[in-house]
Amino acid sequence: QDLGLMGACENDIRSTVAMVVFGAMTKGRMGYISDPAVDSSRRAVSSAHCVATRKWFGPQGPTADYEILTHSEDRMGASVRSLAPLNYPCTTVQFHFTGSGGRGCVLVQEGRVIANDRDDRGCRTKMVVEVRGDNYENIYPHWQTFGWHRVTFVGDFKADVEKLAQKIGFQVLRED
């Protein structure tokens, strides 16, 4: 991922498509596939996974601080804990493709990176995002349709998401 090559996990085709499409739109920024968890005490979403880039701003950007640890669940192998840049806006997306003739959707959520959770439980990279809107718990009703994973890009790309959705005839669903 540091080289701008795709690194997706768990055979997640929708997230891979989101990484390819929005990676091109953001001029090479790597998306971070993660499992979101709502932290109502901070009105935030903690996005966690054991696969993340160290180059949040693309291959030519700076390398983030990181640690090499074991994989969290089985304590075997190696996994990178990449620390996301603090106080930057971020945009989280996911696609839903319907059957023939149906209209697809693109989910979008905006926020700001407020922390990197270093708790040893769960996945290694845990980006904590303060969600912009009042409806940060909107993730829950969308899990059934959009699945567990989301893809987060560092930067404010909401307008780009909306333009793309309009061009391809997709509905935009906001999770914030």
More confident residue, 128 or 100: 128
**CB atoms inside a 10 Å sphere around CB 140:** 10
Q: At what angle do helices 13-25 and 158-168 cross, to 10 degrees?
A: 110
CB of 25 within 8 A of CB of 160? yes
Predicted local distance difference test score (pLDDT) of residue 9:
74
β-sheet bridge partners, residue 2: none
Q: How confident is the model at residue 101 (pLDDT cuts 50, 70, 90)?
A: low
Q: How confident is the model at residue 102 (pLDDT cuts 50, 70, 90)?
A: low
**pLDDT average, residue stretch 30-51:** 85
Q: Is the pLDDT of residue 170 over 90?
A: yes
**pLDDT average, residue stretch 6-32:** 87
Which residues, other chains included, contact 99 with Cβ-Cβ below 8 Å and sequence gap of 6+?
A: none
Q: Does the global pTM surpass 0.95? A: no
Predicted local distance difference test score (pLDDT) of residue 135:
67
